[in-house]
A and B are shown apart, each in its own frame.
Chain A
């Protein structure tokens, strides 16, 4: 397969994962596993094959910006780097989504944050982690805790 074709397919795999993560229900463990584990594993496998079979032919390295530029001048090395981004951004997205679920951040607030992880990886991750930290901090202030009807029914304590 050509590098361009693989680029397209890897992108589609990632998009599927993001669609499920951002818009899909979270109540099915098997569905959550798709963007969290299954698709990152597939992308990681693709990355592994690329690195093992194609990386070594490329010049350059990781020692300086000039070295990295030389490395990524090769289409296959660049493709591998891109698949690296796709795999890890998706995995991180799933992790911060689960963390935000745990502290009770609503899906509508999560959605644009996850879109930001998709578009600008670490910036979105930073925002997600900050939001999670602030929710945890806020729960230390009694007046901001919001018990709801369902919690009352379940007998959960504040």
Chain B
């Protein structure tokens, strides 16, 4: 751990310099561990799934998101990483994250739905606030993308930096419509599944009717997919071109749109009968 100058002057050995994204990654992972332990002791279900499943999925998603942003932040130049823009963005994302997870966990502990639970005035208000929180989080990802785009002094190859920026911004472009549609749909299914209809293990995506979540998943993970592709292509010291990155991004976008179209049409991504 690095030592802050204040701590160093006071002779303290290991007071670390705070990092927002690293803190958020650790907090998400801690929540995930808590949810997994919770799964072992709470047999209640909601909509056929364990009450702890949704909090666990969100916690895992946050680990991946904040972990990715922490890895990016570590490679940006110090002036950018410490600047007010990224600090403010991280602060806003911290607040949104705490609110989202607190509400989702609270509802789950009560055996109630957190999403689409708009039957009461309170539920409807909270759902609006959740949408706002999600918007803050997605836009925050975009801010990091723009910061990476403009930080020519970042400690990344130009190709990787471009892929990171494109991936982060693509996540915003794809997530806003897919998540927005999902939010306004009143539920994640398009169509009514037959009784006993099968779904994907663990993820619970429908195997019988249209499910909007796979497209939401693909949209969200563009920010890992494009940079990972660049890392893979650049192994052995090669350099990836901007055109190739753009091509990879376009392919991912096309895949997302395709999966989304299948869902809206009411068809399952993979028919499971």
Contact = CB atoms under 8 A, between A and B. Distances in A.
B270 interface: no
B74 A144 contact: yes
A64 interface: no
A146 B91 contact: no
A131 interface: yes
Interface stretch (B22-30, B113-121, B184-192, B193-201): B22-30
A130 B34 contact: yes
Interface of A: 27, 101-109, 111-113, 126-127, 130-132, 134-135, 138-139, 143-154, 156-158
A103 B27 CA distance: 13
A15 B157 CA distance: 51
B218 to A, nearest CB: 25
Nearest to B10: A29
Given A27-B6, A109-B23, A149-B78, 8 more contacts: A111-B98, A112-B102, A126-B34, A135-B22, A144-B70, A146-B74, A150-B5, A158-B2
A156 B78 CA distance: 14
A138 B4 contact: no
B207 interface: no
B18 A134 contact: no
A144 B71 contact: yes
B88 to A, nearest CB: 11
Contacts of B241: none
A65 B34 CA distance: 27
B22 A149 contact: no
A15 to B, nearest CB: 20
Report whether over half of chain A's contact residues are helix, strand or loop; otherwise say mixed.
Answer: helix
Assign chain B's interface to a size class: 35 or more
Contacts of B78: 147-149, 152
B2 A156 contact: yes
B26 A148 contact: no
A154 B16 contact: no
A7 B21 CA distance: 40
Contact of A109 (B27, B33, B82): B27
B202 interface: no
8 contacts: A104-B1, A106-B20, A126-B34, A127-B27, A131-B23, A134-B30, A145-B74, A148-B81
Contacts of A144: 22, 25, 67, 70-71, 74
Given A138-B22, A148-B82, A104 B17 contact: yes
Nearest to A158: B2
A109 B34 contact: no
B85 interface: no
Interface string B79-113: 10110000000110011001000100000000000
B8 interface: yes
B2 A105 contact: no
B145 to A, nearest CB: 18
Interface-centre pick from B14, B16, B21, B95 (highest chain A CB count, 10 A): B16
Contacts of A132: 26
Nearest to A142: B74
A101 to B, nearest CB: 7
A131 B2 contact: no
B98 A112 contact: yes
